[in-house]
Amino acid sequence: MGITSTHEPPMQKTHRQQAIHRGSTQKWLVLEANGIEKQYWKDLWRYRELFAILAWRDIAVRYKQTFIGVAWALIQPFMTMVIFTLIFGRLAKLPTEGDAPYAVLVLAGMLPWQFFSGSFSACADSLISNANLLTKVYFPRLIVPAATVITNFVDFIISFGILAAVMIWFKWLPTWRLVTMPLWIGLTFAVSMGVGLWFASLNVKYRDFRYVVPFIVQFGLYVSPVGFSSSIVPTKWQLLYALNPMVGVIEGFRWAIIGKGLAVNLMGLALSLATTSLLLVTGIRQFRRMEKQFADVI
Amino acid sequence: MLSEMDDSDTLIRVESLGKRYDLYHQSNEKYEALRDVITRHSKAAVRLLNPFTLAGQLQKSRHKMVRTQSHSKEEFWAIKDVNFEIRRGERVGIIGRNGAGKSTLLKILSRITEPTTGRVEILGRVASLLEVGTGFHPELTGQENIYLNGAILGMKRREIKSKFDEIVDFAEVQKFLDTPVKRYSSGMYVRLAFAVAAHLEPDIMIVDEVLAVGDANFQKKCLGKMEDVADREGRTVLFVSHQMAAIQTLCERGILLHNGSVMHSGDMRDVVSKYLDIGENSAERSDISRLARSGTGEARFSAVYPVDEEGNETAAFQLGDPFGICFELYSDVFVKDLSVGFSIHDQSGQSVSIVYSDFDNRTFVLKGESQPQKIFATIEGAPLAPGRYSVNVRLVKCGTEIDWPKGSVCNFDIIDAPYYVNPAARSGHTCVICLKPAWSACKQQILVKEA
């Protein structure tokens, strides 16, 4: 490199020569079958702006397209909360956690659940709905499903307003535990991405996987403690029950929001963490493995 | 160190590159339904589990399974053993017939798909433009789409911001920046998309057939901008096009792909003439039967296409060379006194020439046979400027309209002839016709018209 520059008299260095000189310090990019992995993670960082703009696009379009816009992010969880509180709390008379109002219990489970189900569905569909991008430009494909999770995160933040309102209504004060919230949000991210990546890549290959997604969301709503408290699950089933990663997430949210008189089920949390990391790692691996074929198959 | 410096000017190196696709014949889709996979396997399983098949049938069913599987999958090499190098500042045109592997090559170079064999080495930032307006969202405004599209094409936010005004000026959409692009006219849409792309500043630019859309004037503006940038900043451009005229204007070097491998590479002009030599390059035709048409319908055009001197269908002619148009006419009944007319239009739709066969007192007869009859019109040395032209046709009989398909029926390209490509004055691209005068000094040469 030093030699290259000594060949040129520094006086005559034009703009173009500078460009060439800069070029000579650049690294060769090698494309071949099963190319190097390291490049991918570097690219992921290099394309962070595209990631941000794709997430922004989805958010902008969502709130422009739907007539009631932001209100939808509020109405949906609010109505579900009302129904769940009436059915599980009033009619079925299920116990709440400690002496927390049933509505708070439901909302503390509902918000992460809706965050998860929304991101999971969008994630699973993301590659198909962005097919025009995948076949025309290069970028690490992981950006696309990840951006959809961000979009749903915005919905989540907005619907958090309801929780605040309901807590004020019931005069239920949060404790210091609320500070741990980012942790639980991060966990929801991980679960959504883990499951979402699996389905996103399978969806490209087997197009009828999209019919499985709504079923899983519906099924998951009943096996996760969204409308009820985990305390009603019999002890002998607790282990199996805790295999569902959303159990750990929702219990974490309840622990942080409701506060008083709630203990962490460490065993359950550990199990949830284990399944989550397993899902995430295998999900990323599966996605990476299928990613090379996306443009050819889609 | 020394060898490194020797090829320090090479930006792209392609070595024995190949890409294989597996074709599934069973379904026309590239992807499978899980349902199909399950039924395929369960059918085989059921067959195996059936006690009656177990004995002698087992062999057969296994045989069958193997056969159906091998039958449904076929390998196809879109490109195979491709080698070339591209140096800094070169503008290289890649041409070839449909299915020659051009798009696959571009997709590998722009990292959309991975090669199956071989390798590519690239130095510098690559921007690929395989489509105009990739990622444009109809609900977003013009301004929002500039940022979105720019980011998709690999521009940094800061970069877009600094060029924003320039892009808007270029696209001529100042007034509509806050309008969602779904309300744009198609012309505005394409202009905006082009404008973003034209302001990319990568080291290497890969451009696919994107200039085929948009109006002719704006195309020229874009070509001009690209040429400008390439000249001034030594940008490397890879350009794929079917428009021989456009590709000749922009590129000095060419690569001809044929059946997935490099058939010829070198000077663009040689490559284009090689391309024309391969023959069987069919012209771009529209399906006449789908065009709206008027007239009595006694006789109809069934096909119209440009032909070379031997009467073979072709897609491009060199400026000044003779070229022909073949009209295939069809009728159920006996019709006579048919006059065939055609017009030639340039890219802006401007009619360049209109002529009917009865101008020459020439009419044709159809005998009502099942085979269409071919009628040829041969034009000697037309001085049409390089570019793409479209043909419209009309059939009349003693002033009565018989058949008039509404719209262009085929296209052809006129490519530069060496005569007009004086490097000092590249005039062929900005004029409508190219005359070839006789020059003399002092005294005008007298043209004697033969009696």
Judgement on whether residues B180 and B148 belong to the same structural domain of the protein: yes
Instruction: Flag whether residue B38 sits within 8 Å of chain A, measured between CB atoms.
Output: no
CB within 8 Å of chain B, chain A residues 211-270? none
What's at B37, amino acid-wise?
V
Cα gap B321→B307, rounded to integer Å: 12
Contacts of A30 in chain B (CB under 8 A): 119-122
Mean pLDDT score across all residues of chain B: 79
Identify the CATH number of the domain in which residue B215 sits.
3.40.50.300
Instruction: Flag whether residue B368 sits within 8 Å of chain A, measured between CB atoms.
Output: no
Joined tokens for residue A98 = 């400690």
| Candidates B124, B152, B203; nearest CB to A50 | B152
Judgement on whether residues B327 and B294 belong to the same structural domain of the protein: yes
Burial of B421 from C-beta contacts in 10 A (0-12 / 13-18 / 19+): middle
Contacts of A298 in chain B (CB under 8 A): 30-31
Q: What are phi and psi of B361, to 5 degrees?
A: 55, 35
CB within 8 Å of chain A, chain B residues 187-246? 203, 233-234
Contacts of B112 in chain A (CB under 8 A): 134-138, 295
Instruction: Indicate whether B313 belongs to any domain.
Output: yes
Q: CA of B109: which chain A residue's CA is closest?
A: A31
Instruction: Indicate whether B123 belongs to any domain.
Output: yes
| Candidates B124, B134, B139; nearest CB to A23 | B124
| Candidates A30, A139, A298; nearest CB to B121 | A30
Select, from the ranges A76-85, A227-236, B15-24, B245-254, the one with the highest average predicted confidence (pLDDT): A76-85
The per-residue pLDDT for A25 is: 55
pLDDT in tens, B289-315: 888 888 888 899 988 999 888 888 887
- Is B123–A28 a contact, with Cβ atoms under 8 angstroms apart? yes
Q: CA of A4: which chain B residue's CA is closest?
A: B5
A169-178 burial, b at 16+ Cβ within 10 Å, e below that, comes to eeebebeebe
The answer to whether B386 and B245 have CB atoms below 8 angstroms apart is yes
pLDDT in tens, B232-241: 777 888 888 7
The per-residue pLDDT for A148 is: 92
Judgement on whether residues B183 and B132 belong to the same structural domain of the protein: yes
Cα gap B126→A183, rounded to integer Å: 39
pLDDT in tens, A115-158: 999 999 999 999 988 988 888 888 899 999 999 999 899 989 98
Please identify every stretch of chain A with a pLDDT value under 70, giving residue numbers as ranges: 1-26, 35-37, 65-67, 69, 260-263
Q: CA of A136: which chain B residue's CA is closest?
A: B130
Contacts of B233 in chain A (CB under 8 A): 16, 19
Judgement on whether residues B300 and B328 belong to the same structural domain of the protein: yes
| Candidates A4, A20, A138; nearest CB to B112 | A138
- In percent, the amount of chain B with pLDDT more than 90 equals 19
The model's pTM is 0.71
The answer to whether B258 and B278 have CB atoms below 8 angstroms apart is yes
Q: CA of B5: which chain A residue's CA is closest?
A: A4
Interface test with B, best of A15, A44, A53, A215 (most B CBs within 10 A): A53
Q: Which of B277, B297, B321 is the last residue of a domain?
A: B277
For the cut 50, the answer to whether the pLDDT of residue B117 exceeds it is yes
- Is B122–A31 a contact, with Cβ atoms under 8 angstroms apart? yes
Distances (CA, A) of A233 to A98, A240, B378: 16, 10, 89
Cα gap B60→B53, rounded to integer Å: 9
Judgement on whether residues B191 and B300 belong to the same structural domain of the protein: no
The per-residue pLDDT for B235 is: 80
CB within 8 Å of chain B, chain A residues 131-190? 132-139
Contacts of A207 in chain B (CB under 8 A): 29, 31-33
Q: Range of B306's domain? A: 288-418
Instruction: Indicate whether B116 belongs to any domain.
Output: yes
The per-residue pLDDT for B6 is: 46
The per-residue pLDDT for B31 is: 60
CA distance A138 to chain B (A): 5
Task: pLDDT band for B276, please (50, 70, 90 cuts).
Answer: confident
Instruction: Flag whether residue A206 sits within 8 Å of chain B, measured between CB atoms.
Output: yes
Ramachandran region of residue B206, left (φ > 0), alpha (ψ -120 to 50) or beta?
beta
Cα gap A168→A179, rounded to integer Å: 18
- Is B139–A134 a contact, with Cβ atoms under 8 angstroms apart? no
Contacts of B109 in chain A (CB under 8 A): 31
Task: pLDDT band for B422, please (50, 70, 90 cuts).
Answer: low
Q: Say which residues have a Cβ less than 8 Å from residue A71's Cβ, sequence separation at least 6.
A: none
Identify the CATH number of the domain in which residue B334 sits.
2.70.50.60
Cα gap B271→B258, rounded to integer Å: 12
* A1 Cα distance to chain centroid: 45
- Is A57–B34 a contact, with Cβ atoms under 8 angstroms apart? no
Instruction: Indicate whether B450 belongs to any domain.
Output: no
Cα gap B438→B435, rounded to integer Å: 10
Domain count, chain B: 2
B78-94 burial, b at 16+ Cβ within 10 Å, e below that, comes to bbbebebebebbbbbbb
Cα gap B12→A281, rounded to integer Å: 35
3-state helix, strand, coil in chain A (%, to 5): 80, 0, 20
Judgement on whether residues B413 and B299 belong to the same structural domain of the protein: yes
For the cut 50, the answer to whether the pLDDT of residue B70 exceeds it is no
Instruction: Flag whether residue B142 sits within 8 Å of chain A, measured between CB atoms.
Output: no
Q: Which of B244, B277, B310 is the last residue of a domain?
A: B277
Instruction: Indicate whether B38 belongs to any domain.
Output: no
Q: CA of B117: which chain A residue's CA is closest?
A: A33
Cα gap B41→B30, rounded to integer Å: 19
Joined tokens for residue B50 = 């059936």
Judgement on whether residues B181 and B267 belong to the same structural domain of the protein: yes
| Candidates B8, B110, B180; nearest CB to A138 | B110
The per-residue pLDDT for B58 is: 47
CA distance B266 to chain A (A): 24
Ramachandran region of residue B145, left (φ > 0), alpha (ψ -120 to 50) or beta?
alpha
Judgement on whether residues B295 and B337 belong to the same structural domain of the protein: yes
Instruction: Indicate whether B90 belongs to any domain.
Output: yes
Select, from the ranges A19-23, B70-74, B405-409, the one with the highest average predicted confidence (pLDDT): B405-409
Judgement on whether residues B241 and B353 belong to the same structural domain of the protein: no
Judgement on whether residues B316 and B191 belong to the same structural domain of the protein: no
Q: CA of A22: which chain B residue's CA is closest?
A: B124
Residue identified by tokens 């690219």 is A43
∠ CA B215-B219-B221, nearest 5°, is 120
The per-residue pLDDT for B210 is: 61
Lowest mean pLDDT among A6-10, B121-125, B284-288: A6-10
CB within 8 Å of chain A, chain B residues 380-419? none
Q: Please give the interface size between A and B, counted as residue pairs whose CB atoms are below 8 Å apart.
A: 129
- Is A205–B130 a contact, with Cβ atoms under 8 angstroms apart? no
Mean pLDDT, rounded, for B194-200: 83
The per-residue pLDDT for A9 is: 38
Q: What is the 3-state secondary structure (H, E, C) of chain B?
A: CHHHHHCCCEEEEEEEEEEEEEEECCCCCCCECHHHHHHHHHHHHHHHHCHHHHHHHHHHHHHHHHHHHHHHEEEEEEEEEEEEEEECCCEEEEECCCCCCHHHHHHHHCCCCCCCEEEEEEECCEEEECCCCCCCCCCCEHHHHHHHHHHHCCCCHHHHHHHHHHHHHHHCCHHHCCCEHHHCCHHHHHHHHHHHHHCCCCCEEEECCHHHCCCHHHHHHHHHHHHHHHHHHCCEEEEECCCHHHHHHHCCEEEEEECCEEEEEEEHHHHHHHHHHCCCCCCCECCHHHCCEECCCCEEEEEEEEECCCCCECCEEECCCCEEEEEEEEECCCEEEEEEEEEEECCCCCEEEEEEHHHHCCCEEECCCCCCEEEEEEECCCCECCEEEEEEEEEEECCEEEEEECCCCEEEEEECCHHHCECCECCCCCCCECCCCCCCCCCCCCCCCCC
Judgement on whether residues B88 and B183 belong to the same structural domain of the protein: yes
Instruction: Indicate whether B334 belongs to any domain.
Output: yes
Lowest mean pLDDT among B30-39, B286-295, B394-403: B30-39
Task: Flag whether the ipTM exceeds 0.85.
Answer: no
Q: CA of B148: which chain A residue's CA is closest?
A: A53
Contacts of B153 in chain A (CB under 8 A): 137
- Is B137–A298 a contact, with Cβ atoms under 8 angstroms apart? no
CA dihedral B140, B144, B150, B153 (to 10 degrees): -20
Interface test with B, best of A40, A127, A138, A290 (most B CBs within 10 A): A138
Instruction: Indicate whether B394 belongs to any domain.
Output: yes
For the cut 50, the answer to whether the pLDDT of residue B223 exceeds it is yes
Instruction: Flag whether residue B33 sits within 8 Å of chain A, measured between CB atoms.
Output: yes
| Candidates B33, B113, B119; nearest CB to A30 | B119
- Is B113–A296 a contact, with Cβ atoms under 8 angstroms apart? yes
Judgement on whether residues B249 and B322 belong to the same structural domain of the protein: no
Element (DSSP H or E) covering residue A28? strand A28-32
